Structure 1
Amino acid sequence: MSGLAGTQLASAPPVGRARAQGRPLTICFPFSGDELGGSHMSVRGLLEQLDPSRYHALIVPERPGGDIAEFFASWPQAADPAPPRQSLVPGARIGPAKALGALAGVRARSRFLQARGVDIVHSNDGRSHAAWALAARLAGSRLLWHHRGDPSARGLRYVAPLLADRILTVSRFSLPAQGSRAAQRAQVVHSPFDTQVEASRETMRARILEHIGAPANAVLCGYFGNFIERKRPLGFLDTVEELGRLVDRPVHGLLFGDPRNTEYGELLPERAARIGGNARGHMMGFRSPGHAWLAGCDVLLVPAAREPLGRTLVEAMLVKTPVVATRSGGNPEALEGDCGILCDLDDPVGMARAVARLLAEPEQRQAMCLRAQVVARARFSREHHAEQVASVYTELAMS
């Protein structure tokens, strides 16, 4: 950081040049690491709706030719001018030492943004904020800080107020503390979804049963996401094991997620293999499209702590998979209107009992799932999300 002390901030923001020249705004979307997650799904949903005559998107993956680059293959791309030697783990806390390491490429990234005429940098996760926020400031680009995490995050509290021109959050829970400087620049924009997705629940259920070698009467419990402590994958397995004691059907816990995105090493698959009695655990890997695999599950379990607003939770609502989630973070906000069941945090017994009640009450379960689908389609459309974000781009261009 000290090596940047003498650097002058760009005096002529590229946004102003774009407005004066009547050209499309260039929006840069930098991505750290190479593991696909909810933020990438959201950004692609946004890009598919933006008017290309008004907005020129530039994707900057950390690893050219990797999974993220392939995922955004339909849009212009450029390589990160200062890729790190080792990527940070997605979802893990970024402490001062890691943040300083991420600043190593600030000068190169700042020059890159200026050379490309980038008007707005739209960063979408903690790692990208750490790597690109100061570079955007030094380049004279506007910074749109899209916060998809916990409101207690250091970056949101201490860095965003200094560097971000605007802050978007995915839920009311994720908003900065009321009265703070960051809160004055923040607004909620729910993540975008293809609200018309469809999947054959019977077909996908049969596919899962065949894959894991389970009988037709098995209860399929799904976990979708990174394997990090905040999301409580071990708590998921505890719930599955407890459910196996409560029902007279075989219970199978399905852990969907990229095995590279883990804080547990071999501990998690070993724990899944040790589940006994009437329950079994399975490491399913990353599978796409996520909504189809969700449709094959009898229930989605969301044991996470302080989850901002989980994509899989909304996707489950859209395909009428019942949701049992913790009363934590943005879960209550997503399930407003009696669209799921909420349980106390870190209470696998209570969560298992809630699932058992769902299984025993098919009519109430079906009514809840239909209600959830209607609510999700109304609240989380891609079109509505794109309109809101485009409005922010316009405000930044005019400021």
Structure 2
Amino acid sequence: MSGVLPVETLADRGPLDGARVASPGHGTHPRVLFVSHTGTMSGAELVLRDAVRPWAGSTALLFEDGAFAGALRDLGLKVRLARSGAALTGLRRDASPLRALPMLGRLGGLALEVARAARACDVVYANSQKAFLLASLPARLVGRPLIWHLHDILDGAHFGRAQRLVQARLANLCAARVVVPSQAAADAFLRAGGRPSLVTVVPNGLDLDRDPRPAAALRAELGLPAGPLIGVFSRLAPWKGQDVVLEALAELPGVRCIVVGAPLFGEDAYAAHLRDRAAARGLSDRVLFLGQRGDVPALMQAVDAVVHPSVDPEPFGRTLVEAMLAGVPVIATDAGASAEILDGGAVGTLVPPRRPDRLAAALAELFDAPDAFVARTRRARERAIARYGAAEMQRALADLILRVAARA
């Protein structure tokens, strides 16, 4: 463990005596208010979508409408849309806290909505940083314990010093627990000033059924080209590093790439830059930009390798686990939680961030001797099934909610 100080992990925690998670909301089970700032389906929202499955009948307060609201309704949650949610539009997570000053009135109205909703519940569960910042003080004001699910790395690559300080101090003051998906995320929270006693590491979990058909059949069905093919799967954003993959491809004649994802949070200029860069490097016929897709598992199985090229530390890396479950080789930058997920490189290839030459060399090695990666890929799938299942994540989070409610 690389943490500055020890934090609670799944292995440290036993179940709450006598607690059952089968039917929350009935009898002694707590009423949970899940708070999320966005209606867009991204990594954190996919985690919450899976985490709330045992909590049908609970309430979700969203700051905006969208596909996420529909997904939560389908799972039996009562969805409330905050009337003042538009106050957060345009307030980016990497912006200075001073940017919030002109909208303090609207943010205050949103905080009051959170407080009213919190009074009707036993536990508040904030699923994002914006949700936490808006829910922390209202939850404390009405005397409800708050769990913050922190899906980010609190470091200088993503947040300013003032932001990190405010978030850590608010957590120390208002949070009953802070859930993080990796030791890397826990370490960053501690370095920002968070208390070790607050932190619980619960790895993100997901379940994917593997298509039994061979990759060639899947490629034909999906309309993908034959020959060496890699895939990059994440939203289009500068820190996700898709531009590094383009530079590596320039050194690998004959290798093609699918880029799956869209600019979800105002990164349209970067998306345009990627297309321009591909054209400038003569890669337009070898790079397919597929946009946001709902068939990612099939696309992953159809490629020869999945590349995860983030240039800044990742708090987790859902794409890595999806690729491991898909049974394809994984190449990832050694930043954040990637090494944890890939067992220090034992079940995947780790390369330094921002090094297209090293990425190109790793891909060349893979295509020169693909059979050498078969055993490693099999171990990767076994590891993903054993450590990163949705049921284990649901159990761990539900147990944590029960414990927090019992202490309150």
> Are residues 1:35 and 2:35 paired?
no
> Are residues 1:364 and 2:394 paired?
no
Q: How many aligned positions are there?
A: 363
Q: Look up the match of 1:69.
A: 69
Q: Look up the match of 1:5.
A: none
Contact 1:241 1:280 in 2 (8 A): no
Q: Look up the match of 1:82.
A: 84
The one-letter amino acid of 1:109's match is E
Q: Look up the match of 1:150.
A: 153
d(CA) in 2 for partners of 1:203 and 1:138?
A: 58
> Once the 2 structures are TM-superposed, how far is the Cα of residue 321 of structure 1 from its aligned partner?
1.6
Give the one of 109, 113, 118 matched to 2:113: 109
User: 1:189-234 CA deviation, whole Å, 9 max, x = no partner?
Assistant: 00011155546433432244x25xx3x22x2222222222221222
Q: Look up the match of 1:228.
A: 237
Identity %: 25
The one-letter amino acid of 2:347's match is C
> Once the 2 structures are TM-superposed, how far is the Cα of residue 348 of structure 1 from its aligned partner?
0.6
Mapping for residues 303-322 of structure 1, pairs under 5 Å = 303-304=309-310, 305-322=312-329
> Are residues 1:274 and 2:264 paired?
no
Q: Look up the match of 1:16.
A: none
Give the one of 352, 355, 361 matched to 2:360: 352
d(CA) in 1 for partners of 2:319 and 2:91?
A: 20
d(CA) in 1 for partners of 2:91 and 2:290?
A: 20
> Once the 2 structures are TM-superposed, how far is the Cα of residue 323 of structure 1 from its aligned partner?
0.8
Structure 2 segments unaligned to the other structure (5+ residues): 1-23
RMSD of aligned alpha carbons: 2.6
> Are residues 1:256 and 2:266 paired?
no
| Structure 1 residues 145 and 98: alpha-carbon distance in aligned structure 2, compared to 1, 3 A threshold | farther
Q: TM-score of the superposition, structure 2-length normalised?
A: 0.81
d(CA) in 2 for partners of 1:71 and 1:284?
A: 23
Q: Look up the match of 2:182.
A: 171
Q: TM-score of the superposition, structure 1-length normalised?
A: 0.82
Structure 1 segments unaligned to the other structure (5+ residues): 1-18
> Once the 2 structures are TM-superposed, how far is the Cα of residue 122 of structure 1 from its aligned partner?
1.5
| Structure 1 residues 25 and 179: alpha-carbon distance in aligned structure 2, compared to 1, 3 A threshold | same
Q: Look up the match of 1:8.
A: none
Mapping for residues 70-219 of structure 1, pairs under 5 Å = 70-74=70-74, 75=76, 76-85=78-87, 87-88=89-90, 92-98=93-99, 101=103, 103-114=107-118, 117-152=120-155, 154=164, 156-175=167-186, 176-177=189-190, 180-194=193-207, 196-198=209-211, 200=213, 201-208=215-222, 210=223, 214=225, 216-217=226-227, 219=228
Give the one of 298, 301, 312 matched to 2:307: 301
Give the one of 242, 247, 250 matched to 1:238: 247
> Once the 2 structures are TM-superposed, how far is the Cα of residue 307 of structure 1 from its aligned partner?
0.7
User: 1:22-42 CA deviation, whole Å, 9 max, x = no partner?
Assistant: 453222222223321111211
| Structure 1 residues 346 and 118: alpha-carbon distance in aligned structure 2, compared to 1, 3 A threshold | same
Contact 1:82 1:108 in 2 (8 A): no
| Structure 1 residues 388 and 207: alpha-carbon distance in aligned structure 2, compared to 1, 3 A threshold | same
